[in-house]
Structure 1
Amino acid sequence: MGIETRLENLSNEIFVETFDYLHALDIFSAFGSLNKRISSIFQSTLLCIVISEIHCRNQVDFLSSYLTFHDHQVISIQIDDTIRDDTSIINLLFNRHDFINLQFCKFVRIDQSTKLDNVIQQIKTFDKLVSFNIFNLNGITMNRNDKYELARIMLMHKSSSLRSIALHYPYHYSNILNNISLSSNITSLYLYIYGSSSIVSVDSILAILHLCHRVRCIGLTVKDKEPVDNNDFYGPVPIPSVDEDDLPVLSHVISFELTFYVAWNTASISYLLRCMHNLKYFIFMFGPYKSKYLFPVDLIDGYVWQEMLELYVPYLLKFEFHMSIWKYSPRTDLNIVINSFKYFVNKYSNWHMIIDQWSLQSSTPGECIMLRTLNYHKHKSNPYTYIPSIPSGSFNSQSTMENIDDHYLFYKNEIDLRLYITSERPNITYSSPLFQQIEFFKLEISKIPSTWLNNFLDIVNFHETSDDDAEEIVTYLSNWIYLSKLVEIKFESSFNIYRWKYVQFILQECSNLTSLTILTELLIYSKFIDNSFLIPIFKQIELIETTFEDVYFSPSFSMKFVDRFPSLTHIKLQVISFNDCVSIIDPFLSHLKNLSYIKIDYFENSLLDDPFSLENIIEKRRQAFPMNIIHKQLIDVKNDGEVIEIWLT
């Protein structure tokens, strides 16, 4: 007979250790009303607050009610200012609470309505703060005064415990540099410098580096807000004029992460590296950079990089980069680029680079080239890199690796891919897929030429793709990705009812698929929705989104829809009127046990009363699924006259 252990028999130490793995909202939700003993343990628990975009206002208010008695225990905060049904969450919590013992603070996606005055005043007083991070790449949503005050307060913060500052929002810094003296205890600094060409000049960046005498790790993002070029010539970027006798000496810097979207060449970069003689790790990212003619060609010349790094950073141990460039003629010779970088293969351990090339999908001839090193993703603070849609017919790739079958190693950190299948499909010689870890896949295919004659023939002959054509597409895709690893696939508008077999054959290979985006007209097409080969795939789909081209989701299709997709948790559809929403949502609530979220766009409003009150939704769910646990505080409805959204969890 086994010994039965009850929750109340566990020691206080076990509870305390368990709470260390939970965020504050989880702790209060699970244990808040349990008993007095647990409540007393709360008094000595250090709390970490995490509010993300998936949370709702009811959850924030619930958390806040407990923080009234526990805000002094909060040591870490990570808040997304925009949640699923509200905004200005940062302001709300900081107006209600004083986080006097805060050590780690991160703000994400500041909403345009948020005023940070009170937040900034609190931050100024945090004497235990160790790390401050704000991530808001869309600078438009922050007002100019908040940007200025936040930068000034943080760069002059007097907390002796402060070590790391990361201000990931675009700002020019020109109006505060003369009045700032960065504290000597700051060891890590990341800034996003944004402005006109004079603001993002080499001189301006050197002025910022003058503040960093004791900093060990520096990250800079530099972006020009003006067009890159308007010239009708192709030529090198001019070399800047810099006072070399006034360069800062940054002997403590060992790591430098430089990202820029500006027409700098290696000469410009060299002035920054000259300041960092003891640098050990240099991580460089360029672009996506778009230019018709003005292009820093020396950035893709390995010989120039070799000379610069040997001269100015002789102790460098790691050199990793990622460059993404969209440009017009002349076309890049991949062999020349690869050969120029072979020095680094012998210089650094496990170092290799690859360059990809494909044609731009535009009326003007041009190309996209993307260069990356093998281990770039291991050292970048944000390992995600954006890969534009790749036209399959023009894709070319070369690497410093001798074995072409090892090229997939450069893409092992990539999980999403956009592929445009062209009519030209050159032979691919890789023995295994190039992008082996892809989970999220967006697929487009070249459209059939559209003339009045073709349209007439389509009507008469009802032209459809053959099984052989569909199998050929699947075989071709297997050279790019493992379809069996896909979690999400988005079929773009070219996959209409005439290409339903393409979709069928692709989906049959997607054994782990849970998310599907598809044209409404194809979803409701009988040869697709009633296809016996696809029904097992349909039953495992959890998220579905339809796209609209002339055909709306019909209420008459609702029951077949819930029958085909019984595992759905998230639904996004388009219908004609709000009356259709009423007819559609009712069977969804009554038949989909795991349903969590519904979003329906409609184009005609209704004079009828909105039947979707919280009470009605809760009652429908209880009647349909009496064994389901319903969390009332998580249920919410929004209807703005064009879109209705319902959250059930």
Structure 2
Amino acid sequence: MSIKMKFELLPNEIFVECFQYLNAPDIFNSFDRLNYHFHTLIRNSPLHLNFQQFKKSLFNEFCQTILTNPEIKQNIISLQLSNESTCGQIQSFLSLISLNEFIHLRSLSLIDINDENDEQLLSMLSLLSNLDCFSCTCSEYKTLKIISVLTKSKIRMLTVPQFNFNSTSVYKTMSITSLTISNCDLSDLCQLFKYTPMLKYLKCEHFYNSQITDDELNFTNTNIVYLQKLIIDSSSAKFQVLELLLKRISNLKIFSIFAPNVLELIDANRWQHLIESSLPYLHTFNFNFGYYAHHSYNEKLIKFQQFQTDFWHKQHHWYTNYEIEGFTALIYTLPYVWNEYTLTSTMNRYNDSLISYSNEFDNVKNLFLCTKAIKNNSPCFFRNIQSLILIN
């Protein structure tokens, strides 16, 4: 006797869990007309609504679905709107539905906010008392205005282009634990840490070098005790600047940095001294350092081999590969954690002999591939590529 399992007989909890990985319009298109059970279930489940890169016709269609089914509003817990490559999507949405109608909204992302409907948007944001996560891209002036009206919310996770620290009263009332900021330098962070004492996670997309001032030297008297994870997507800062910063984050556990052209960062002994003296809890150190210089081939090898001593291998289990191509050289930790990689035919790769990573490039999504580097016995394997660009 065979038993046939019917899809609709699965527990509601399984469907609700699956819905957390799907966009609300896709859920309604797939389940709304199946039967009464699913018709009711999707109207009583938490929903994530992402309109980024949405066709205008589909956007209008689902907005109409919300208007004709007002109960949907109370189930939307995250909302993403974008003016990028759209005809004023944010303004179109707000003209139909007020943000404060989403009474259970926890996460809001507004991409490429323009100057239209300023007051309307700000008045709506001020009523989102349950908001936990907020992200926006807009001008610095507009960012400050938006954050100032969110001080009554319970925001813990914040993503903004940059801060204007001329108005510090904004930050005294916000207990941010996770922050992503597009552009900053050490001076910005010195101010930031004063008003975000509970910060646990910080991501800087562009961290710039700066002249060290008296305020930054006084920063050495500050301890950022809760910060445990620091990610710097791109850095041009000198070692002394990073040293001043890291010495104040003594409880740091995870540190990732990409610095494509700062020669002095390729100094294993200096990093070892900093880690041993100031970062006792650091267990994950991901770095990608590169430089362009007329050093001899052997000089480059000597600098890189300093990262393969017992301190790096036995004490911390941090392993590196390095690559040399003409005057360009780079060294990175394993596995490779960045999502972009360039593979050329003239590159000399040196793999750490103590470890073999079959998944070395599993994080790479965007590959720039020299056509002459295409061969059957390539030691590099990219299994998760989403974008491939061939170069000569």
Aligned 8 A contact 2:109 2:135 in 1: yes
- How much does 1:285 deviate? 2.1
* Superposition deviation, residue 275 in structure 1: 1.5
The answer for the alignment partner of 1:106 in structure 2 is 109
Q: Secondary structure at the match of 1:314?
A: coil
**Compared with structure 1, are the counterparts of its residues 132 and 31 closer, same or farther at alpha carbon in structure 2 (3 Å cutoff)?**
same
* Per-residue Cα deviation, 1:144-190 (whole angstroms, up to 9, x for no partner): 43233234445xx2334x322122x2x35243336531533x32222
Cα displacement (A) at 1:442: 3.2
Structure 1 94/301 Cα, relative in aligned 2: closer, same or farther at 3 Å?
same
Deviations 1:460-511 (A, max 9, x none): xxxxxxxxxxxxxxxxxxxxxxxxxxxxxxxxxxxxxxxxxxxxxxxxxxxx
Specify which structure has the bigger relative contact order, considering alpha-carbon pairs within 8 angstroms and separated by 6 or more residues.
Answer: 2
- Name the residue aligned to 1:642: none
Q: Deviations for 1:190-249, whole angstroms, at most 9, x for unmatched residues?
A: 22225xxxxx3x33321212223222222223345xxx9xxxxxxxx9876643366322
Cα 1:116/1:356, change in 2 over 3 Å? farther
Matched residue of 1:397: which SS? strand
Find the counterpart in structure 2 of residue 214 from structure 1.
Answer: 198
RMSD of the alignment, in Å? Answer: 3.6
Task: Work out the CA distance in 2 between the residues paired with 1:21 and 1:258.
Answer: 28
- Are 2:235 and 1:261 equivalent residues in the alignment? yes
Equivalent residues in 2 for 1:599-618 (5 A)? Answer: none
After TM superposition, give the deviation of residue 59 of structure 1 in Å.
Answer: 1.0
Distance 1:64 1:312, change over 3 A: same
- Classify the secondary structure of the residue corresponding to 2:44: coil
TM-score, structure 2 normalization: 0.81
* Counterpart among 159, 163, 169 of residue 166 in structure 1: 159
Counterpart of 2:269 in 1: which secondary structure?
A: helix
Kindly indicate whether the alpha-carbon contact (under 8 Å) linking 1:338 and 1:398 is maintained by their aligned counterparts in 2.
Answer: no
Structure 1 residues 311 and 82 mapped into 2: Cα distance closer, same or farther (>3 Å)?
same
Instruction: From 320, 324, 331, give the equivalent of 1:357.
Output: 324
Matching residue of 2:285: 319
One of 341, 346, 350 as aligned partner of 2:314: 346
Kept in 1: contact 2:140–2:164 (CA 8 A): no
Structure 2 CA distance for partners of 1:192 and 1:35, relative to 1, 3 Å: same
Letter in 2 for 1:180: Y
1:141-152 matches, cutoff 5 A: 142-152=138-148
Indicate if the aligned counterparts of 1:131 and 1:163 stay in contact, CA closer than 8 A: yes
> Secondary structure of 1:92's match?
helix
Q: How many residue pairs get matched?
A: 380
The question of whether the paired residues in 1 share the 8 Å contact of 2:143 and 2:163 is answered with no
Residue by residue, what CA displacement relative to the aligned partner does 1:45-84 show, whole Å, maximum 9, x if unpaired?
Answer: 322212232x31111111111212122221112344436x
Per the alignment, do residues 421 and 58 of structure 1 end up closer, same or farther by CA in structure 2, a change over 3 Å counting? closer
Amino acid in the other structure paired with 1:255: K
Write the distance in 1 (CA, Å) between the matches of 2:32 and 2:43: 12
Partner letter of residue 182 of structure 2?
Y
Q: Are residues 147 and 330 of structure 1, via their aligned partners in 2, closer, same or farther at CA, if it must alter by over 3 Å?
A: farther
CA distance in 2, matches of 1:238, 1:123: 37
Alignment correspondent of 1:122? 124
Aligned to 2:63: 64
Q: What code does the residue aligned with 2:64 have?
A: S
Residue-by-residue CA offset, 1:285-335 (whole Å, 9 max, x unaligned): 224x4xxxxxx432011111111111111222221112344x343457332
2:329: which partner in 1? 369
- Gaps of at least 5 residues in structure 1 are 137-141, 195-199, 229-236, 290-295, 360-366, 378-382, 446-649
| Aligned-partner Cα distance in 2 for 1:42–1:407 | 43
Partner of 1:252: 226
In the aligned structure 2, how far is the partner of 1:372 from the partner of 1:20?
35
Aligned to 1:411, the other structure's residue is in SS state coil
Contact preservation (8 Å) 1:212, 1:250: no
1:437 aligns with 2:383: yes
Residues 224-281 of structure 1, C-alpha deviations (whole Å, 9 max, x = no match): 5xxx9xxxxxxxx98766433663221122222233433x222111111121122222
Shift in Å, 1:358: 2.2
Contact 1:286 1:322 in 2 (8 A): yes
The percentage of counterpart residues that share the same residue type is: 19
SS at match of 2:233: strand
Provide the rounded CA distance (Å) in 2 between the counterparts of 1:51 and 1:348. Answer: 43
Is the CA contact 2:49–2:79 (under 8 Å) kept in the aligned structure 1? Answer: yes
Decide whether the 8 Å contact of 1:248 with 1:275 is kept in 2.
Answer: yes
Name the counterpart of 2:26. Answer: 26
Distance 1:331 1:173 in 2: 45
Matched, 1:397 2:349: yes
Distance 1:17 1:438 in 2: 25
After TM superposition, the structure 1 = structure 2 runs for residues 225-624 of structure 1, keeping only pairs within 5 Å, are 242-244=216-218, 247-262=221-236, 264-287=237-260, 289=261, 296-325=262-291, 327-330=292-295, 333-342=299-308, 343-349=311-317, 351-359=318-326, 367-375=327-335, 377=337, 383-385=338-340, 387-388=341-342, 390-393=343-346, 395-402=347-354, 406=356, 409-420=359-370, 432-437=378-383, 439=385, 440-445=387-392
Unaligned runs of 5+ in 2: none
* Higher Rg: 1
Residue 181 (str. 1) matches residue 172 (str. 2): yes
What amino acid is the match of 2:233?
Answer: T
Q: Is the Cα contact below 8 Å between 1:281 and 1:317 reproduced in 2?
A: yes
Q: Which amino acid aligns with 1:312?
A: S
Contact 1:338–1:399 (8 Å) recurs in 2: no
CA distance in structure 2 between the partners assigned to 1:14 and 1:312 by the alignment: 46
8 Å Cα contact 2:171-2:196 kept in structure 1: no
How far apart, CA to CA, are the structure 2 residues paired with 1:130 and 1:257?
Answer: 21
CA–CA separation in structure 2 for the residues paired with 1:384 and 1:243: 35
Q: Partner letter of residue 315 of structure 2? A: K
Native 8 Å contact 2:77 2:107 kept in 1:
yes
1:113 CA drift (Å) = 7.5
- Inter-partner Cα distance in structure 2 for 1:11 and 1:410: 39
Are the equivalent residues in 1 in contact too, given 2:16–2:46 (CA < 8 A)? no
1:103 positional shift: 0.8
Match of 1:647 in 2: none
CA drift of 1:129 comes to 1.6
| Paired letter, 1:397 | R
Q: Distance in 1 between matches of 2:45 and 2:219?
A: 54
| Kept in 1: contact 2:90–2:113 (CA 8 A) | no
Deviation, structure 1 residue 123: 2.7
1:192 aligned counterpart, secondary structure: strand
TM-score by length of 1: 0.51
